[in-house]
Structure 1
Amino acid sequence: MIEASWIAFAFTLGLIARAIGLPPLIGYLGAGFALAAVGDHVGVGRQDGVILQHLAHLGVLLLLFTVGLKLKLSNLVRREVIGGSLLHFAISSVLVLPAIVLVFDASWRDSLLLAIALSFSSTVLAAKVLEGKRELKAFHGRVAIGVLIIQDLIALVVMSLAAGQVPSPWALLVFLLPLLRPVLFRLLDHSGHEELMVLLGLMLALVVGGMGFEAVGLSSELGALAFGAMLAKHKRATELSNSLWAIKEVFLVGFFLQIGIGGLPDTNAMIFATVVALLLPLKGMLFFFLFLSFRLRARSAFLSASSLTNYSEFGLIVASVVLPQWLTPLAISVALSFVVSAQLNRFAHPAYERLAKWLIPLERNTRHPDEQPVSLGDAQILVMGMGRTGRAAYDHLLRKGFRLASLDSDPVMVERNVAEGRNVFFADAEDQMFWQNLQMNDVKAVVLAMNDAEAKIISTTKLRSIGFKGLIVSHALYEDIAERIQAAGADHTYLTMTEAGTGLAENVARELLPEEVRPAAERLVG
């Protein structure tokens, strides 16, 4: 079977890539080129490329749907996101345009479209890398994803204009989509926790979002992203994302295979890809300085820029529509940029630590949107994570008379809680500089209320490593996670569902038992 060749090549080269310290996706790219080279011998033909193209498209739609599930519109409509993406698009296109005209002797139209295609960064790669490093919800991850979404919207406009296509008048109906949110929430509530929930996710990403948007002349990728974003505030959005994880990963293998299987490059294509790859550092530097100009700290600017230092699969989509003769050179350029970007992101954190003494002086002398506290003042208790659990813990302890401070890695959540009168600061638990500079002399206890289990483990480890001897209390959904948090140094880790059951039992006992026997019964329930 032809599919056996795809699977065998992808698994073998993916395993080799992992063995030499590269992400498996680099192996999948290599497998695509290998299949293109030996296609006649293993029976891979044009029809198989079409099948892979469909699988790849499904993978991209599912990826963007799951990215949307973790997206908050308030994090997108920020000046560092909109300003950074638009300015980078304009400056990058203007700088690269004359180089393409002079070096490759292309027409001005083709050169302009190539420059625009090369200004975009890869949504697939960046989202996959950030997700793998559990940094999608970190400040720099949200900035990078926001920029990528703006770029994707620009790419859709460019393709429509260059191809002479305009959306159907029915496309105006997308502005009514927010009215569907209560219906989508109810569907998710009633879909259970098993196959119906998976089918709901597939239907929204591929059918309603993908095919629905295409039917009115809009991008299917935009549709998948939009429907994911509409469910982002649902309490089961994370569960839905996790249920689609394995399907998405398998289909994305098809995406990387499809890039390479399109055909082997000639000498001119390799020269083009090499020259374009040499421009990657300039692309990353431009992002870095633009983010600094929008008052980000050097660390956030560096990590966001690292995620965006690559070329985009949307460049291939643009080429397939308006520049078919440049498709193979662009495919090689994208593949090379993936190799470079994968290594850059693998070492991004240690690289920043080494470069910090030169990068930090470049920050603007003003308050940054991602500025982190140096001191927690006279706070007795620190609450980390200000979602529903964190806010409930904070408000309860405040009523008990304790002095509190709290931290959250979402600037929007920080602004919301500050407006409601809570003492909340922005902080990224994975930032080593934050822990090195933090002063918490009066803090006696820390409540870990973040949703992400890894963030709790990292925070516990960092707290103990800086010499904090006080009480660390956390919650967890599963026993194995609770054990890992305890092993990192937490004093107590409560199982969320168990504590909810205990709370229910205590309320029942309080209502039904007579006053004189209530204390003994409460001890028994506890």
Structure 2
Amino acid sequence: MIEAVWIAFAFVLGLIMRQVGLPPLIGYLAAGFALAGFGDMFGVQPQDSSVLAHIAHLGVLLLLFTVGLKLKLKNLIRPEVIGGSLLHFGLSVGLYFPGLLFFLDIGTREALLLAIALSFSSTVLAAKVLESKRELRAFHGRVAIGVLIMQDLIALVVISIASGKSPSAWALLVFVVPLLRPLLYKLLDMSGHEELLVLLGLFLALVIGGLGFESVGLSSELGALAFGAMLAGHKRAGELSQSLWSLKEVFLVGFFLQIGIGGLPDMDALLFAVVMGVLLPIKAILFFFLFLLFKLRARSAFLSSMSLANYSEFGLIVASVVLPEWLIPLAVTVSVSFLVSAPLNRIAHPLYERLSKRLIPMERDIRHPDEQPVTLSDAEILILGLGRTGRAAYDRLHEKGYRVVAMDSDPAAIEASIKAGRRARFADAEDQVLWQSLEMPEVHSVIMAMNDAEAKTIAVRKLRERGFDGLIVAHAMFDDIAERIMEAGADKTYLTMSEAGAGLAEQVDRELIRRGEMRASAAPPSPNPPA
């Protein structure tokens, strides 16, 4: 009965938010507060939230595990990630602390811990938004996730120090964990493609990573992330992530419900949340200028900052351990930040296009190594996207003698293609600065093979705006997306599933003709041939 009420509230309010153009997760947050206020009418008691808290925790562990599956540790050891996160943490605490101490009637220790809790950004929201836009592996996505992981590590240190707890001596065993990678690879190879694969993901994320790290005094979240990251280099990491997708999404609904179900806020909590919401742009602006300091372009700095413009569920974890009296005010503050951040992240790319003329002049003259301008030299055909479609198109055109080059925003895809002998370059097709500086003197055809429809639309429009009059071809899953790409200036758009069906039919037709010819040639000659 209780689970039915949770599901009903989450679905109805999530659907309402979707219909008005807001992310469903805002509806889940609203459902949590609705259950806190009216749960008694439906038989939901406060003690029931402990079950929901457990479900929410599983959702966070699964999310961090799948984030880890898409990460490479070398992407975290970057100046913009380490320097940006540490500098932002120090500056944020320095800005929040005196204000909290002056305006609130609290002690120095309480003000300091509250400032620390407010300095973090939401790993759950940012990862979910970036994943939904397929930008986890884009340059700005990797920077944002790297900063969030650094913040999570800082939060774990703060919790350990403030709570007086410390890891046990057994925690040293975590240094042996990387040695288990060959075994993990073997288990992943042996698990097949069905339910055993899902169980392996749950086993590593919740049992070995989550419970294992927790049992030695470390964070279960860190354990789930670590075991996901160890499998990131395996060729089936993407398949494992996809197999856990539905479970992760359902459990994360519990996370958003649990934020609000803890209790209704009073006027002081609402006022605190509103003030912190007004101050939220300070967090984004500070990130933006720090990223510019570390040589990022304005576009990458802006998109990364937008992903980090929110308050963190880790702030709630800090509060639950060392500031329990601030748990509800912080929960409302996190909810308000989600209400602001989630819609803004949905329009981040169009918003940057509007602001780009003001933001680009703020860039440093020195370019980040991952964002150098690209020259395509003698290439005749440009392929954007190095997924299965892009790789297949590259290989077929290369076989036919064309000079082909491909671009992608995923360093792993670039590295794999270079090893396979393809000409591949790092670039983000949605970056308008790329299209302004890209040198492509002999390119006469462009193939849009990216997954994201918005990326294809923007890239087509930017190509036409720069004066490219060659052939532009794209693929799309749905008619409305194909229409949008054509309106942006593409010459031809192929519906992927329709073309696949037509291709299968063509293969069947050829095979039937071949077999008919074989039967005809194998048949014995007629004893009475016609005159």
| TM norm structure 2 | 0.84
8 Å CA contact 2:374, 2:427 repeated in 1? no
Partner of 2:109: 109
Question: Measured at CA, do residues 473 and 8 of structure 1 come closer, stay the same or move farther in structure 2, by a change above 3 Å?
Answer: closer
1:339-378 per-residue CA deviation (whole Å, 9 max, x = no partner) reads 0101221221121111111110000011223435364233
Find the aligned partners of 1:400 and 1:316 in 2 and give their Cα distance.
58
Partner of 2:520: none
Find the aligned partners of 1:349 and 1:460 in 2 and give their Cα distance.
12
Question: Measured at CA, do residues 412 and 9 of structure 1 come closer, stay the same or move farther in structure 2, by a change above 3 Å?
Answer: closer
Find the aligned partners of 1:147 and 1:50 in 2 and give their Cα distance.
30
3-state DSSP of counterpart to 1:38: helix
Query: Deviation of residue 170 (structure 1)?
Result: 1.2
Partner of 1:7: 7
> After the TM superposition, which residues 283-362 of structure 1 pair with which residues of structure 2 at under 5 Å, given as runs?
283-362=283-362
Question: Measured at CA, do residues 345 and 456 of structure 1 come closer, stay the same or move farther in structure 2, by a change above 3 Å?
Answer: closer
Partner of 2:511: none
Question: Measured at CA, do residues 385 and 177 of structure 1 come closer, stay the same or move farther in structure 2, by a change above 3 Å?
Answer: farther
Question: Measured at CA, do residues 417 and 190 of structure 1 come closer, stay the same or move farther in structure 2, by a change above 3 Å?
Answer: closer
1:198-252 per-residue CA deviation (whole Å, 9 max, x = no partner) reads 1111111111111011011111111111111111111111111111111111111
Question: Measured at CA, do residues 74 and 10 of structure 1 come closer, stay the same or move farther in structure 2, by a change above 3 Å?
Answer: same
Partner of 1:53: 53
8 Å CA contact 1:311, 1:334 repeated in 2? yes
Find the aligned partners of 2:485 and 2:376 in 1 and give their Cα distance.
25
Find the aligned partners of 1:264 and 1:404 in 2 and give their Cα distance.
60
Partner of 1:514: none
Partner of 1:177: 177
Find the aligned partners of 1:178 and 1:190 in 2 and give their Cα distance.
20
Question: Measured at CA, do residues 272 and 423 of structure 1 come closer, stay the same or move farther in structure 2, by a change above 3 Å?
Answer: same
Find the aligned partners of 2:18 and 2:401 in 1 and give their Cα distance.
53
8 Å CA contact 2:460, 2:485 repeated in 1? no
Query: Deviation of residue 426 (structure 1)?
Result: 2.5
3-state DSSP of counterpart to 1:232: coil
Q: Which amino acid aligns with 1:289?
A: F
> After the TM superposition, which residues 26-65 of structure 1 pair with which residues of structure 2 at under 5 Å, given as runs?
26-65=26-65
Number of corresponding residues: 496
3-state DSSP of counterpart to 1:425: strand
Query: Deviation of residue 491 (structure 1)?
Result: 8.0
1:106-142 per-residue CA deviation (whole Å, 9 max, x = no partner) reads 1110111111110000000011111112211211111
1:245-281 per-residue CA deviation (whole Å, 9 max, x = no partner) reads 1111111111011000000111221121122112101
Find the aligned partners of 1:37 and 1:231 in 2 and give their Cα distance.
43
Structure of higher CA gyration radius? 2
8 Å CA contact 1:373, 1:426 repeated in 2? no
> After the TM superposition, which residues 164-313 of structure 1 pair with which residues of structure 2 at under 5 Å, given as runs?
164-313=164-313
Task: Provide the identity percentage.
Answer: 66
Find the aligned partners of 2:484 and 2:78 in 1 and give their Cα distance.
34
Partner of 1:138: 138
8 Å CA contact 2:448, 2:472 repeated in 1? no
Q: Which amino acid aligns with 1:180?
A: L
Q: Which amino acid aligns with 1:308?
A: L
Partner of 1:129: 129
Find the aligned partners of 1:293 and 1:416 in 2 and give their Cα distance.
31
Question: Measured at CA, do residues 72 and 187 of structure 1 come closer, stay the same or move farther in structure 2, by a change above 3 Å?
Answer: same
Query: Deviation of residue 402 (structure 1)?
Result: 6.3
Query: Deviation of residue 335 (structure 1)?
Result: 0.5
Find the aligned partners of 2:134 and 2:218 in 1 and give their Cα distance.
31
Question: Measured at CA, do residues 29 and 117 of structure 1 come closer, stay the same or move farther in structure 2, by a change above 3 Å?
Answer: same
8 Å CA contact 1:486, 1:492 repeated in 2? no
Query: Deviation of residue 46 (structure 1)?
Result: 2.7
Query: Deviation of residue 484 (structure 1)?
Result: 10
Q: Which amino acid aligns with 1:67?
A: V
Query: Deviation of residue 390 (structure 1)?
Result: 7.4
Question: Measured at CA, do residues 305 and 375 of structure 1 come closer, stay the same or move farther in structure 2, by a change above 3 Å?
Answer: same
Q: Which amino acid aligns with 1:114?
A: L
Find the aligned partners of 1:102 and 1:492 in 2 and give their Cα distance.
61
Q: Which amino acid aligns with 1:24?
A: P
Query: Deviation of residue 175 (structure 1)?
Result: 1.5
8 Å CA contact 2:85, 2:151 repeated in 1? yes
Partner of 1:523: none
3-state DSSP of counterpart to 2:369: coil
Query: Deviation of residue 405 (structure 1)?
Result: 4.1
Q: Which amino acid aligns with 2:346?
A: R
3-state DSSP of counterpart to 2:382: strand
Q: Which moved more, 1:300-309 or 1:190-199?
A: 190-199
Question: Measured at CA, do residues 169 and 396 of structure 1 come closer, stay the same or move farther in structure 2, by a change above 3 Å?
Answer: farther
3-state DSSP of counterpart to 2:242: helix
Query: Deviation of residue 154 (structure 1)?
Result: 0.6
Q: Which moved more, 1:177-186 or 1:314-323?
A: 177-186
> After the TM superposition, which residues 385-404 of structure 1 pair with which residues of structure 2 at under 5 Å, given as runs?
385=385
Find the aligned partners of 1:354 and 1:288 in 2 and give their Cα distance.
16
Q: Which moved more, 1:296-305 or 1:175-184?
A: 175-184
